[in-house]
Amino acid sequence: MLEDRPRQIAFYGKGGIGKSTTIANVSSVMAAMKLKVLQVGCDPKHDSSRPFWKGTPPKNIIDLLREGRGDPRPSEYIACSTSGVHFMEAGGPEPGVGCAGRGILKMFELLEEAKVLQSGYDAVLYDVLGDVVCGGFAAPLRAGYAREVYVVLSGEFMAMYAANNICRGIATYAQRRSVRLGGFVLNRRNVPGEVEVVTEFARTVGSHVVTIVPRDNVVSEAEQMRRTVAEAFPDSPQAQVYRDLTQSLLEAKHLVIPAPLSDEDLESLYFRSSVRIGSTDAAGVTEKG
């Protein structure tokens, strides 16, 4: 798997859509497969790696720089979980002060200077806030770090709107940096017609749904234990979903340059699906009546 650099995979998506839960479980599965994996949190909340903390948050890049002791060493910001996942967090400024994107840019500078990406990792997974309008959050794409992108979304309109914007960012950098979309991870919210509308959206932009992650209480149970589902409940159906997703990521069969929709076309697609689903539901009620 290794060449001069590891596989570099970024997860994007609307805030609160479940990126961190998804990526942490993928990291756990990779570690269980004896792959050396580094999970990089690019969200200013610096909580991507929460399941690996052992109760104590690690020092993040911004905090270390704020202490004013010069550029930190990798040993100061890269930690390792009990399951073998290496992880780090970019961090961010206090709310309302400064630019969170700058922390991400500085993080990549440090990774390059310390040659972290050439230190034997099989995979580096980036957990990125979905606002690619900001140059900092687009850094994994623009600088060529993330060659493969997976977008986490649900069947809610704003999640799909963010996903479409992320496709625009991928298309922008695709030619210069060989960035490709690997597909969509549907993290279900159980809204009506969710699978159908997301599947149609994925097909329309030229991609596909890689995995459908069911809504399951086992996820919150694992979070309360400060562990991933893959670690806490390895025999559960939900853990198998994450194993299947990880296998799909490793195979990466369908990497494409997406064809994002205009805002009007996205609205139309979503509205058509809603009307179609509503009509089906109404017909069902009529038949039962």
Which H or E run contains 262? none
Phi, psi of 167 (to 5 degrees): -60, -35
Catalytic residue among 14, 36, 59, 106: 14
Measure CA 101 to chain center. 17
Cα separation, 210 vs 202, whole angstroms: 10
Catalytic, 14? Answer yes
Q: Are 24 and 52 in contact (CB under 8 A)?
A: yes
- Count of helices and strands (H, E) across the chain: 11, 8
Cα separation, 181 vs 255, whole angstroms: 5
Catalytic residue among 19, 36, 59, 106: 19
Q: Are 129 and 162 in contact (CB under 8 A)?
A: no
Catalytic residue among 36, 59, 127, 131: 131
Cα separation, 72 vs 122, whole angstroms: 24
Catalytic, 19? Answer yes
Catalytic, 253? Answer no
Phi, psi of 227 (to 5 degrees): -140, 165
Catalytic residue among 4, 34, 45, 47: 45
Catalytic, 115? Answer no
List, by residue number, the catalytic residues: 14, 19, 45, 131
